[in-house]
């Protein structure tokens, strides 16, 4: 990238965009461009790339629709709400949090945004330019992208999640990063996790909170999938943060589900423990004030929806459905050579993790020539899991997302658990298994041929 030449008029300087924008990738959407080209060439696509329940036919129940319809009769649904969010809704949410025990908050400790993407973006904008957030690896793309955007001249600071230990955070790695990099002011955790489907244990979260206290940093936990859990107990940040300054990120897109509402919020815990943290919170609130407020209608209906007698059953029903899909996927991939088992306890996603040690130079198995021509521009220097993602797409039409796009060196794919037709999902699982086995066999054959030629 060319540096600015201050001897020339500003209008003649190029480029105009922020230098970090070129580094920002959201492959969950970008894979669509490739899939659309293949679709135009005659391939039927099965979209498994993005976790939009409504797009996949999941509908909010009639009782919830009626609440939303009735809210159209309220004048306040068409007006500005306070900059921090609808007062009654913030009071309701604060009460819900306080019922769990742990950290106590008031309505003033809650700040609404137009979805969590807006919240994440605003958070990084409000950080000091030299401050950093320690993020897990892998991590949801939006978190990784904005941390990268915040400090474009440096790599992201990450800590390891271990798939051999149910994606448990590496506590030693967290401490190591904090001791080496005093510019880190926060530890990020996604729980339940996207993309891995992990739900982190109570003791592990307590230890992370303790580490945050030790190094005088805050804790940020993305909890948007908190109501989408099975097989394990989810522990809210408010229950474990004790005296640790902390921010919880929550929303309604995955549990109602209403992703198009673009409605999320932050909850701030233990604001007065650390004056620097409190100043960050105040900066976030001031930043939101510049925008006046977030969308009114979704905020207004939250108390009535979440206190409805059918809400708990609605959440339980969705969790049972997703547990069934997770089990189907896990069972279909049992005992596949070159795969690392992955247990899923939450979120809307499943994974296939490829053991890189079983592969060396990767080759694309045979596919139709017209599909190959479309893929060829994307194959140069492609990672192992991108090769497999593209092969899966061109061979079956299943559009998944490579795991390495989630700021990690681990290889694999992420797909949704949202297919409603049990037989169609069984077809998806079987096609993934069969395609992976062909991919593995093709590359293992070439690998063994090279070993024989070298006499090893």
- CATH code for the structural domain at 62-68+75-306: 3.40.640.10
Dist. CA 197–CA 329, nearest whole Å: 13
pTM: 0.91
* CB-based contact 183:152 (threshold 8 Å): no
Domain range summary for the chain, segments of one domain joined by +: 10-57+312-453, 62-68+75-306
Give the DSSP H or E segment for 246. strand 246-251
Dist. CA 428–CA 405, nearest whole Å: 22
> 209-248 burial, b if ≥16 CB within 10 A, otherwise e?
bebbbebebbbbbbbbbbbbbbebebbbbbbbbbebbbbb
- Residue-wise pLDDT tens for the chain (456 aa)? 445 454 555 555 556 666 666 655 666 677 899 999 999 999 999 999 988 899 888 989 999 999 999 999 999 999 999 999 999 999 999 999 999 999 999 999 999 999 999 999 999 999 998 999 999 999 998 898 888 777 766 678 999 999 999 999 999 999 999 999 999 999 999 999 999 999 999 999 999 999 999 999 999 999 999 999 999 999 999 999 999 999 999 999 999 999 999 999 999 999 999 999 999 999 999 999 999 999 999 999 999 999 999 999 999 999 999 999 999 999 999 989 999 999 999 999 999 999 999 998 899 999 999 999 999 999 988 999 999 999 999 999 999 999 999 999 999 999 999 999 999 999 999 999 999 999 999 997 655 444 333 344
Q: For the residues of 202-224, what is the DSSP string, one character each?
A: HHHHHHHHHHHHHTT-EEEEE-T
**Helices 422-453 and 384-396, interaxial angle, to 10°?**
130
Return the CATH class of domain 10-57+312-453: alpha beta
């Amino acid at each position: 990238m060319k540096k600015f030449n201050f001897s020339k008029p500003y209008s003649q300087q190029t480029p105009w965009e922020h230098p970090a924008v070129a580094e920002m990738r959201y492959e969950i959407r970008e894979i669509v461009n490739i899939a659309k080209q293949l679709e135009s060439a005659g391939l039927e696509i099965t979209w498994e790339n993005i976790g939009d329940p409504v797009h996949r036919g999941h509908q909010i129940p009639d009782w919830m629709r009626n609440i939303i319809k009735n809210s159209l009769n309220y004048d306040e649904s068409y007006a500005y709400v306070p900059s921090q969010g609808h007062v009654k809704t913030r009071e309701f949410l604060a009460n819900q949090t306080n019922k769990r025990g742990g950290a106590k908050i008031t309505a003033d400790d809650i700040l609404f945004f137009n979805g969590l993407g807006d919240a994440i973006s605003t958070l990084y904008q409000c950080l000091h330019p030299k401050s950093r957030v320690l993020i897990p690896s892998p991590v949801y793309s939006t978190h990784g992208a904005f941390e990268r955007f915040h400090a474009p001249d440096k790599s992201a600071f990450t800590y390891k999640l271990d798939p051999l230990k149910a994606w448990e955070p590496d506590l030693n790695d967290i401490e190591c990063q904090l001791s080496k990099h005093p510019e880190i002011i926060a530890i990020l955790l996604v729980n339940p996790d996207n993309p891995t489907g992990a739900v982190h244990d109570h003791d592990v979260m307590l230890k992370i909170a303790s580490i945050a206290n030790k190094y005088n940093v805050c804790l940020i936990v993305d909890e948007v999938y908190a109501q989408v859990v099975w097989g394990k107990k989810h522990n809210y940040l408010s229950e474990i943060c004790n005296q640790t300054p902390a921010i919880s990120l929550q929303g309604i897109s995955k549990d109602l589900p209403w992703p198009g509402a673009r409605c999320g919020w932050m909850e701030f815990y233990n604001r007065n423990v650390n004056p620097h943290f409190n100043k960050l919170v105040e900066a976030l609130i001031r930043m939101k004030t510049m925008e006046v407020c977030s969308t009114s209608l979704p905020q207004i209906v939250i108390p009535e929806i979440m206190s409805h007698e059918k809400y708990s059953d609605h959440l339980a029903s969705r969790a049972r459905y997703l547990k069934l899909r997770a089990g189907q996927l896990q069972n279909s991939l049992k005992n596949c050579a070159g795969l690392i088992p992955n247990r899923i306890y939450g979120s809307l996603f499943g994974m296939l993790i490829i053991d890189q040690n079983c592969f060396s130079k990767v080759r694309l198995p045979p596919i139709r020539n017209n599909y190959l021509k479309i893929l060829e521009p994307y194959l140069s220097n492609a990672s192992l899991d991108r090769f497999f993602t593209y092969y899966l797409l061109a061979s079956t039409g299943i559009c998944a997302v490579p795991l390495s796009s989630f700021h990690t060196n681990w290889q694999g794919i992420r797909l949704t658990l949202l297919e409603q037709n049990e037989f169609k999902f069984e077809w998806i699982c079987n096609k993934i298994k069969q395609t992976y086995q062909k991919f593995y066999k093709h590359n293992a054959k070439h690998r063994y041929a090279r070993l024989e030629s070298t006499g090893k």
